[in-house]
């Protein structure tokens, strides 16, 4: 079955297979892997993509690097193509929509204490649409690269093209070496951390030197690229860190003690999506996330409902 209008090139039309080929390339990051996934040859996939790009009049895939990446136009088109294919398949067989999972990215700590209730409740209510929770070490957890359909993000996010909603805020904590002098304190202030180095995750973290007043910033900083390296550096006594309270629950570490911070502003936890058409299940995810937060915050500790 064809969709779209004729291209003027021999009366050829854009069909669903063109969209499927493009989506396979976007998901797999390469033509060869996309061809394997689709069960066709690499030249067929390349020709199909080229025909789609000619029809649209734009480049969807950047071929200048060994690992193919979507162009800005490709990122914008991906959601439209995915929505069109899902609608086509649902029209033929509503049950086939279950094969399109909803990918939810996060850089660390996921949905904090609400992670398990969210995943379990989603599975109970929407078993036809798998919810895949993916950790991606990126400030937008892969959202701007098209690797996920939605993302749980922390801290202010001003990336163009994203729509965000604050779901809840969490207190910040200091992360210090378990055998260091600060670990025995009942609470700390930001100033208590400035005498030594502060470890910053500059790839996906939400803490920057701007958290401290200009006249009282840390004496030194140590940069890392992910939460695992952040924890390792702190445990080794190379510096202290600052994160949200969920990190203490989601990332316990024998060499790290988490201590409440008295004077740090709360950290917002956001649900983000790209502006424009997206996964049809996203509104249900947003509604459930709000429901879970409201429900769990009303439930006394130790009596969580799952």
Residue 7 has pLDDT above 60, yes or no: no
Tell me what pLDDT residue 85 has. 80
If you classify domain 2-94 with CATH, what class do you get?
mainly alpha
Question: What ranges do the domains of the chain cover?
Answer: 2-94, 101-169+268-298, 172-265
CB-CB neighbours of 302 under 10 Å: 5
- pLDDT tens for each residue of 136-168: 998 999 888 778 999 999 998 888 889 999 999
- With a CB cutoff of 8 Å and minimum separation 6, the contacts of 232 are none
**pLDDT tens for residues 275-292?**
877 888 999 999 999 999
Same fold across 2-94 and 172-265: no
Number of residues written out for the chain:
306
Pairing of strands 150-154, 172-177: unpaired
Task: Work out whether strand 220-224 and strand 197-201 pair parallel, antiparallel, or are unpaired.
Answer: parallel
On average, the pLDDT of the chain sits at 88
Closest CA to 243 of 255, 263, 260: 260
3-state class (DSSP) for residue 49: helix
On the question of pLDDT at 116 being above 90, the answer is yes
Looking up tokens 């799952």 gives 306
The token pair that represents 270 in the structure block? 């956001």
What is the reported pLDDT for 277?
Answer: 76
Please state the CATH superfamily assignment of the domain spanning residues 172-265 in this structure: Periplasmic binding protein-like II (3.40.190.10)
Q: Which has the higher per-residue pLDDT, 128 or 110? A: 110
CATH code for the part of the protein at 101-169+268-298: 3.40.190.10
- The lowest-confidence range among 9-18, 190-199, 238-247 is 9-18
pLDDT of residue 36: 86
Paired tokens of 5: 């209008």
pLDDT tens sequence across 58-88? 999 987 766 678 898 998 898 888 878 877 7
- Looking at residue 125, its pLDDT comes to 96
Say if residues 232 and 251 touch (Cβ distance below 8 Å). no
- Where residue 90 falls among pLDDT bands split at 50, 70, 90? low
């Amino acid at each position: 079955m064809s969709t779209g209008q004729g291209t003027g090139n021999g009366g050829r039309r854009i069909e669903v297979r063109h969209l499927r080929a493009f989506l396979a390339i976007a998901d797999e990051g390469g033509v060869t892997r996309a061809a394997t996934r689709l069960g066709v040859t690499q030249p067929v996939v390349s020709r199909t993509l080229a025909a789609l790009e000619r029809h649209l009049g734009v480049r969807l895939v950047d071929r200048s690097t060994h690992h193919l990446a979507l162009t800005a136009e490709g990122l914008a088109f991906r959601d439209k193509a995915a929505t069109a294919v899902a609608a086509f398949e649902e029209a033929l067989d509503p049950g086939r929509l279950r094969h399109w999972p909803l990918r939810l990215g996060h850089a660390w700590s996921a949905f904090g204490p609400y992670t398990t209730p969210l995943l379990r409740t989603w599975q109970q209510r929407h078993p036809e649409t798998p919810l895949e929770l993916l950790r991606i070490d990126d400030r937008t957890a892969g959202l701007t690269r098209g690797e996920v359909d939605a993302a749980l993000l922390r801290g202010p996010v001003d990336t163009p093209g994203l729509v965000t909603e604050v779901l809840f805020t969490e207190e910040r904590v200091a992360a210090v070496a378990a055998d260091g002098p600060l670990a025995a304190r009942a609470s700390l202030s930001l100033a208590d951390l400035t005498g030594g180095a502060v470890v910053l995750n500059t790839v996906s973290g939400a803490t920057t030197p701007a958290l401290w007043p200009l006249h009282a910033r840390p004496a030194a900083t140590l940069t890392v690229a992910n939460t695992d390296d952040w924890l390792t550096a702190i445990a080794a006594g190379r510096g202290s860190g600052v994160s949200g309270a969920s990190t203490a629950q989601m990332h316990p570490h024998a060499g790290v003690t988490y201590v409440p911070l008295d004077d740090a502003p709360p950290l917002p936890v956001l649900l983000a999506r790209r502006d424009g058409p997206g996964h049809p299940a996203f509104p249900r995810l947003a509604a459930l996330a709000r429901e879970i937060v409201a429900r769990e915050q009303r439930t006394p500790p130790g009596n969580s409902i799952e």
